[in-house]
């Protein structure tokens, strides 16, 4: 009796898994989507151990209300308004957001122009679907977290920045970057995790990021000054 029940349950589980896999394939090609996700990986992590960074982690994104990741992630006012209006991340809303983030959510800080190709959107959504709950509760896969642009010594990353000093230094930054965190042609730097800010600035300093103005600005800054700016913009209100 017990053996029959076990076999029936195993058969039912296999059918659910097959149905879930077939549904994922109908969205797009998850393997190709993993490659498309490279566009997203500068800000977002997904997979086992994924953390919030410049953008929130994307585990469990399907069926998740907008602006609802637990922890200290700081959403834009635009996304919080959309959440209050009932925005939930389903296939249709995610597709629209990937096509043109600012068209779906006015005031979003996401520094991404969008994916015009519907097949690329379908593929990346099929990839992300693997990290969301399915009828078979697919476990989170291995990490596809962001690789650091620059490997910095622990002594640099451990510098505790002085926000007050960062505020003093910030005037050159805010001639271009908006203090309110808006993203109108120039990426927002408000609310970034300090380590992400520090790594990005050192990437400019080492000319690994190809923006001549930012390379020049970063080259003038000491490690302590970069840490101070990171601390200031992390907590800036």
Range scoring the smallest mean pLDDT among 58-67, 102-111, 133-142: 133-142
| Residues 111/113/119/124 CA torsion (nearest 10 deg) | 0
pLDDT digits (tens, 9 = 90+) for 178-202: 877 666 667 888 888 899 899 999 9
C-alpha to C-alpha distance for 24 and 66, rounded to whole angstroms? 22
- Tokens encoding 43: 């800000």
- Determine contact, residues 153/227, Cβ cutoff 8 Å: no
C-alpha to C-alpha distance for 164 and 168, rounded to whole angstroms? 6
Task: Work out the widest C-alpha separation in the chain, in whole angstroms.
Answer: 76
Q: Would you state the pLDDT for residue 25?
A: 47
Residue with tokens 């097949």: 119
90 sits in which H/E element: none
Cα angle 229-210-47, degrees, rounded to a multiple of 5: 75
Q: Across the chain, what does the average pLDDT equal?
A: 82
Q: Would you state the pLDDT for residue 77?
A: 86
Q: Go through the chain and tell me how many residues it has.
A: 237
Q: Would you state the pLDDT for residue 178?
A: 81
pLDDT range class, residue 4, cuts 50, 70, 90: low
Intra-chain end-to-end CA distance of the chain, in Å: 64
The domains of the chain, with CATH numbers, are 2-129 (1.10.760.10), 154-235 (1.10.760.10)
Q: Would you state the pLDDT for residue 146?
A: 58
Q: Would you state the pLDDT for residue 120?
A: 96
Cα angle 58-63-66, degrees, rounded to a multiple of 5: 65
pLDDT range class, residue 70, cuts 50, 70, 90: confident
* Burial of 75 per CB tally in 10 Å (0-12, 13-18, 19+): buried
């Amino acid at each position: 009796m017990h053996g029959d029940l076990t076999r029936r349950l195993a058969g039912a589980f296999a059918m659910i898994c097959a149905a879930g896999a077939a549904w994922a394939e109908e969205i797009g090609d998850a393997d190709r989507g993993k490659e498309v996700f490279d566009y997203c990986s500068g800000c977002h992590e997904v997979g086992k151990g994924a953390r919030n960074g410049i953008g929130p982690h994307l585990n469990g994104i399907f069926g998740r209300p907008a602006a609802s990741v637990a922890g200290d992630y700081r959403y834009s006012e635009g996304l919080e308004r959309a959440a209050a209006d009932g925005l939930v991340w389903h296939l249709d809303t995610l597709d629209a957001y990937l096509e043109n983030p600012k068209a779906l959510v006015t005031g979003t800080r996401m520094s991404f122009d969008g994916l015009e190709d519907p097949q690329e959107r379908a593929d990346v959504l099929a990839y992300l679907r693997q990290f969301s709950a399915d009828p078979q509760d697919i476990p989170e896969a291995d990490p596809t977290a962001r690789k650091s642009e620059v490997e910095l010594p622990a002594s640099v990353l451990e510098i505790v920045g002085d926000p007050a000093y960062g505020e003093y230094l910030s005037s050159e930054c805010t001639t271009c970057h908006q203090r309110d965190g808006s993203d109108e042609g120039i990426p927002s730097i408000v609310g970034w995790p300090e380590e992400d800010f520090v790594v990005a600035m050192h990437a400019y300093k080492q000319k690994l990021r190809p923006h001549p103005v930012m390379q020049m600005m970063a080259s003038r800054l000491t490690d302590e000054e970069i840490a101070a700016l990171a601390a200031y913009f992390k907590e800036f209100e």
